[in-house]
Every structure is written in C-alpha cells, then in structure tokens.
Amino acid sequence: MGNLWNVPTGTLGAVLHINSTALPQFHLAFEMRTALCCEQLWLLDNFMGRVIAVANQKGGVGKTTTAINLAASFAAAEVNTLLVDCDPQSNASSGLGLVKDPERVSTYHLLLGEASGEQYRLRDAIAPLRDRFTYIVLDCPPALDLLTVNALVAADSVLIPMQAEYFALEGISELLDTVERIRAALNPGLEIEGVVLTMLDERTNLAQQVMAELKKYFGEKLCAATIPRNIRLAEAPSHGLAALVYDPRSKGAESYIRLAKELLGRHMAAMAAPAISA
Ligand code: ATP
Ligand code: MG
C-alpha cells in the first residue's frame, strides 16, 4: 500500500509517513490542505510541535485506536507527525506492525530506567523533537499512574476518548481533577484538546441522551467529529496498519479523518486569529 512506518533507532516513537499517492482516489492531503487558506497553510507548515496526550484512565475506550488513527490522518495530510507509545501494553506499536524488540530504545527505558518520581523526563526527551514535528501524539495507558502523569506534564493538551455510556461523566471527573492538579503544580499550559466519542451508535436513545449531557458539560470541547463502532477499526491493528491505510473508505477511517480536520482547523484558526487582528 506504499506506506512506510519508519522508526529511526534512538527515537521514542514511530515517525508516520503515509504516501498519499498510494491512496489514488482519495487525495486526502490535497483535500485536507485545500480546505485551508494560504495563511493557514503557511502556519501549518511552520507550526511547531503540538504535543497531544490521548488519555482516559478507563480501559478499552479507544485511546490507542484514536492515537494511531488521528496520527495517521495528520500524516496523510502531509503534516509531520510522531506517535509515541507511552503504554507498557505497547498496543500502539504492535498496532502499527512493530514487533517487540528489547534492543529498541523505548519509552520504558526512558521512564523506568531509574524509577524515580521525575516527572519532566518525557517532556525533556520530547523537547528537541518539537521543532521537527507539527504534531506529537502520546498514547497513554489506562491508569492515572506515573506514565500518564509524565505524558500530561509533557503535553500541550489532552484529548479524551470516551464512550457514550451512562457513567461516562463520573469516570471522567478523576481525570479532570488530575489535569487540574498537573496544571497547578507542573504544567500550567495544559489544555483540554477535546472529548471525542468513540464506538458510538448514534441511533440509540441512550447515546443521544449522553451526547446531550456531554454537550452541556463540555460545550465546544466536545468534538463535533464522532467515531462510530466500525469493524475495520478493530481489524486494522491485526494487519499492523492504520485504518486509513487498511481501508481508507471505511466509516472508521473517515471519522478519524474528520477528527483530524476538526483539530487542524481549530489550531490553524487559533494561530491565524492574532495574526489577522494584529
Ligand atoms: P487500553 O485502555 O487497554 O489501552 P484503549 O483505550 O487504548 O485500551 P483500544 O485498544 O483503542 O482502547 O480499543 C479497545 C478495543 O476496541 C480494541 O480491540 C479496538 O480494536 C476496539 N475498538 C476501538 N475503537 C473501535 C471502534 N470505533 N469500533 C470498533 N472497535 C473499536
Ligand atoms: Mg491502549
């Protein structure tokens, strides 16, 4: 399919290159880039390293699927993107076909080599990479542990995947408290990137009710793009591929492309606003 997942030795994650010409009828990069005006395109190509942590302490809510497919969608738009696997389960790595290799330098070596409470370790490691990538996406483990705290200290923003379930908000308050504490003590600039609904079946009344509640609670932070339950998203990792490479026309791949466009559009608008008003 012409995609190349290239992991240079000594780096912390997968540098995502998707050859968009390998997706012939799709023209994703073209489509995504023509949606932006000239100033926004300039900003996009000169926009330095926004670090987005994909986090939720609840297990199995679609963090890794979101990290892989959001990063792949950015990469398909010819935006330099780095995906960093911060989870010892290493699902983001295996989902992109990287077999476990004890010789490879990993975030494990970086963070747990000396198991101290040092919370700036990931941030320091990522700092020199910020000017090489437009987006750095961190896949977090399902716990509010030292690994997630390191990721939130290193991040500019946190993207929270969640399912439209009755107890969704209860589960999220602990994460929001942690974000508040990290802001107060360690990383004052940490923003909520957004809340993205995953594995959604919009036809059910429950999903509609939960979506309405979440909209009231999160307002604009609730992403307009939602991710449907889609078998292609579940199948893709077993082939070691992002969904947009495995099946670019699937509903799942399309939904992550919409999410990437929404975030890109927001970031470009936020960057253009001061320039226009100046
Ligand atoms: P963990 O907390 O263990 O890290 P996670 O939050 O990273 O889990 P995923 O691994 O992304 O969650 O997803 C959990 C399972 O659900 C996986 O088998 C994945 O393939 C599947 N899955 C994720 N999103 C979807 C979706 N939109 N449609 C169908 N299956 C999905
Ligand atoms: Mg995961």
Q: How high is the mean pLDDT of the chain? A: 82
The pLDDT value recorded for residue 11 is 37
Strands 81-85 and 13-18: antiparallel
Of all protein residues, the one whose alpha carbon is nearest to atom 17 of ligand 1 is: 234
Residue type, 184: A
Cβ–ligand 1 contact at 171 (below 6 Å) = no
CB burial readout 10-22, b (16+ within 10 A) else e: ebbbbbbbbebee
Three-state DSSP class for 49?
coil
Q: Which mutation among 56, 57, 65, 202 tests ligand 1's pocket best, with the greatest number of atoms within 8 A of CB?
A: 65
Which of 13-22, 57-66, 194-203, 214-223 has the least mean pLDDT? 13-22
Q: What are the structure tokens assigned to 264, written together?
A: 């890109």
- For the entire predicted model, the pTM comes to 0.88
Of all protein residues, the one whose alpha carbon is nearest to atom 30 of ligand 1 is: 234
The pLDDT value recorded for residue 154 is 95
Per-residue model confidence as pLDDT tens digits over 97-115: 887 777 666 666 665 554 4
DSSP states along 85-135: E--TT-HHHHTTT----TTS--HHHHHHSS----SSHHHHHHGGGTTT-SE
Per-residue model confidence as pLDDT tens digits over 166-176: 777 777 888 99
Q: What are the structure tokens assigned to 168, written together?
A: 């969704």
Cβ–ligand 1 contact at 65 (below 6 Å) = yes
User: Which ligand is nearest the CA of 143, by number?
Assistant: 1
CB burial readout 230-266, b (16+ within 10 A) else e: bebbeebbeebbbbbbbbbebebbbbbbbbbbebbee
Q: What is the mean pLDDT of residues 230-250?
A: 94
Q: Which mutation among 54, 58, 64 tests ligand 1's pocket best, with the greatest number of atoms within 8 A of CB?
A: 64
Higher pLDDT among residues 53 and 96, named by residue: 53
Per-residue model confidence as pLDDT tens digits over 172-208: 888 999 999 999 999 999 999 999 999 999 899 999 9
The pLDDT value recorded for residue 65 is 98
Q: What are the structure tokens assigned to 221, written together?
A: 């932070």
CA of 134 to the centre of ligand 2 (A): 23
Query: What order of strands is seen across the sheet that includes strand 157-163?
Result: 3-6, 13-18, 81-85, 135-139, 50-54, 157-163, 191-198
The pLDDT value recorded for residue 155 is 97
- pLDDT above 70 for 259: yes
CA of 61 to the centre of ligand 2 (A): 8
Query: Which residue's entry shows tokens 């949606």?
Result: 35
Which of 1-5, 63-67, 122-126 has the least mean pLDDT? 1-5
Per-residue model confidence as pLDDT tens digits over 13-55: 566 655 555 554 445 666 666 666 666 667 777 777 899 999 9
Q: What are the structure tokens assigned to 186, written together?
A: 């360690």
Cβ–ligand 1 contact at 59 (below 6 Å) = yes
Q: What are the structure tokens assigned to 220, written together?
A: 């604009």
Cβ–ligand 1 contact at 64 (below 6 Å) = yes
Alpha carbons 44 and 19: distance in angstroms, whole number: 19
The pLDDT value recorded for residue 10 is 33
Rounded to 5°, angle at Cα 259 from 255 and 261: 115
Task: Please report how the helices 63-76 and 251-277 are oriented relative to each other, as an axis angle in degrees rounded to 10.
Answer: 60
Per-residue model confidence as pLDDT tens digits over 111-160: 555 444 458 888 988 888 888 888 999 999 999 988 899 999 999 999 99
Of all protein residues, the one whose alpha carbon is nearest to atom 21 of ligand 1 is: 234
Sign of the alpha-carbon dihedral angle for 260, 263, 266, 271: negative
- pLDDT above 50 for 278: no
Of all protein residues, the one whose alpha carbon is nearest to atom 23 of ligand 1 is: 62
- pLDDT above 90 for 69: yes
Of all protein residues, the one whose alpha carbon is nearest to atom 20 of ligand 1 is: 234
Cβ–ligand 1 contact at 250 (below 6 Å) = no
